[in-house]
Chains A and B, each alone.
Chain A
Amino acid sequence: MSAFLQCAGCKKILFAAEFEQNLRVCQYCGHHHRLPARDRILLTFDPDSFVEMDAELRSGNPLQFPDYQEKREAAEAKTGSFDSIVSGYAALGGVRVVTAVSDFAFMGGSMGSVAGEKITRTLERAAEERIPAVIFTTSGGARMQEGLLSLMQMAKTTAAVQRCNEAGAPYICVFTDPTMAGVLASYASVADVILAEPKALIGLAGARVSKQAGVSKIPDDFQTTEFVFNHGLIDRIVPRKELRNTLVSLVRMLGNAA
């Protein structure tokens, strides 16, 4: 790794060591750079508490979609995972939780059958054991290479949220950059508590699709964390360095009823 890098927000040159120490947040402009799922897990949960589940789940190419196999294999090599979600059990300030963390590096964090299954199992475990579920999203949406199978993951994961509601298991979702389309319009938006990192891209339609739909007069902060916060669509904007403490407090207060 090179000793220097450029901030994706303000374009200033940053020291890599300092940048990593600062949790990949720019010290000048506060831009939150994307985190690999496993780094996110390390910096969020109690040390050595994470136990991965369902790592063996893997997609096929059910539609024989052009180039899907190749894209997925490249993503596997890049991330060391079989899909965009890393999930399992973990602890937050001593409270046992289930978690699922999305990885943008795996095909834009898109949700196909495997991601949908992992999110669903995570939420089902929360419901069954009546423990909190903490999910981090970063995703362009449903994975179009699995067609309608991907769309149906929206319903499947939302159904599992409904089970958590019924069982009394708290579900906290943290939106990170970007949280879009089929993920935003399913399990992400029906969490009990929704937190978001600053300046993340959050919205239903991609810019290209919006443009095609002839949408005009787009405000400067459209589809950002700040936009959805100001419209009451999320509960709280939390900078990365405060996330762990916020989550610990929340699971301690909401996750004790069980």
Chain B
Amino acid sequence: MSATAKAAYFWRAAVQGIRRAPFVHFIAVLTIALALFAIGLARGGGELLESLISSIGSEVELTVYLKPDATDADAKEIAAALSKRTGTEAVVVPPDVALGRLAAQLGELGSTLTGLPENPLPVSVEVRVPEAVRGPGGLRALAEKVRQSPAVEAVDYGEEAVERLSAIALALRWGGLVGFALVLLATAIISSATLQLAIYARREEIEIQKLVGATDRFAKIPFLIEGMLQGLAGAAAAVGGLHLFWALAGPRLSSLLAFLSVGGCVARGVDPVLALQLAGLGCGLGLAGSFVAVGRFLRV
């Protein structure tokens, strides 16, 4: 009744089982690998999107344009109010500074601006809105507040871009979650089906095992190990695939996204945490599949 002898037997039986039906096991490993690869890729894509949003989001600047007849005192007052609300310094931008900036941005065309007889730009107040205040709807609320002031002509904070991006990110996150669940389910089913084939192929062996006194558990464990090994092999293949993918596609994506200043984070490998998570997930998938298979087929 030695436990190590049993453990040795289980491993031997599992490895023999895989060796005797390499094709079905290969299919299972492939399925798990593809699923994990897709999940890893989605994770990478998701992180890319997050960094994209936060890099755009970090540039969220609230610009308050004052009415032409607003005084310097009005501007100072609004700047002070904004500073208080956001906790960061709000800057009053005089019309000539704004014009200079615009001219610089326009480059060659800018020279025509300097030739204008009168500066058409109003006084504006700019403030970088910190993360904490920004929140969902926070920015809008702030803008509304400022708009109420009689000296204010308009408030601009790139709301469209930020809100739409956030909405997309949210949709993607939910979609990803649903997709994730579906992929996991499908993979577990396929892995379970292949193990059912493996069990079917070995039903005679199981029958005899039980006739010579094997417990149910004894007959089941090798299949559970097989499922786990399938999962690990699948995870290994997926991690390898992801490495390869980022190595090949990373630089290209990087240059593609360079203008968004998130290029840096495309040049990524598979970090060990993700690799471990995928391995765990693979193990779980394989085990879940073999549990179902064993439960359905091992009532000898």
Q: Do A and B bind each other?
A: no
Which B residues have a C-beta under 8 Å from some C-beta of A? Answer: none
Which A residues have a C-beta under 8 Å from some C-beta of B? Answer: none
